[in-house]
Structure 1
């Protein structure tokens, strides 16, 4: 029998789309707690109504998390149980909640996680990637073009699978940035668990074309799994990365980044860069 102590913060995973994906334990705790802290009170209120739950709501989002954490801690010290939910999925990963959890821990109070829906593991489960190399969770890549391009190029040197999240208004830019990954496979999960869910596996260089093939394909939230690549070959990969970087950056900066990405000798890359510039 699970024990639900007082004066504790309950970090509760909620559905990422389909309301039926709530767990029985989550429903029990949301009924049990004195208050529910949440990313968006309007969104959470709508969700709770579907389950017949009515509780006081506390707004704890990315813009007020540090100050709001103090109010949550005050409630906990009074012996209350408080739940925290984000708008969808598991809090404190890509959604707010991490600073709240850290503040509650620093205050010496109890924190209990309630597992549930996650776009990360949902996407991985349909990618069909076997083996024990594990995967990397990259979350949302930088929004600025140059920083995003550099982040994608870093993936060339990592043979592990990588999970990337993206919003609809940036998915086409991400697809363009992934072209240098060539034939490396990407499993795209669009609107996972929702009515218009779509899952497809394409080569990274073909992702832009897939998005362009249907107007609905750029809508909704995305979870992408970049499949494992072959171990980096420093010579070929170094020159390939160098060519891509030289198109956007000064020579010395391109050489420095190419060396960091591929671990190729910097002096060799510098000579190659001079030759590329000359040609």
Structure 2
């Protein structure tokens, strides 16, 4: 569970809700017509841009990655690679067959080594797997980022609809209020959906996608180094170059904090 994503959304919605609740009648911020225009329009235009399967897959993948998935600590990947390298040098690659490896991508790479495939084939398989995984993550980001771009636009469309309704009823003061409510609230809804939900989720998906790509590159280099029989110390120095600067001290993230 990614508690940062959950906490950010909850606190954001809570603070906006508290601000709304300070008024005399919070129910004035609920407008069915405005919600239909913004939400319905945003979903509809996103469906136009993507295939139906891609849309639902992107939504599912996006929420799953943003709220549930967490990438492995690259420090732990290097420690595991060091451990596996020592076993491989001592017992050969077949000695890795029964080693427990939780990361499925790492496990696949080690299994390819155990099966005796040449390094060129292993590298190609792992790179293809990495490319497909990154594409799946990026699909969710693209869907959310497109929705973030469409929501404010439909907020403005709702504003125009509300203004037309208001101007069309200037002779009836009782209808001016509802028209103005649609005009203002749709802009509010569009901005909230984009800035509080869709855009932050798209940015979180981009961040996690970058971390995943870095980890998979690190694992690929680890697998190739293990197959080559690199000295564990030499391999550690090589893998260190894949780490961001703040992780190159030799301490885990929890130890740094």
TM-score, normalisation: structure 2: 0.23
Question: Looking at CA atoms only, which structure, 1 or 2, has the larger radius of gyration?
Answer: 2
As a proportion of its length, which structure holds more helix?
2
Q: Greater RCO between the two (CA within 8 Å, min separation 6)? A: 2
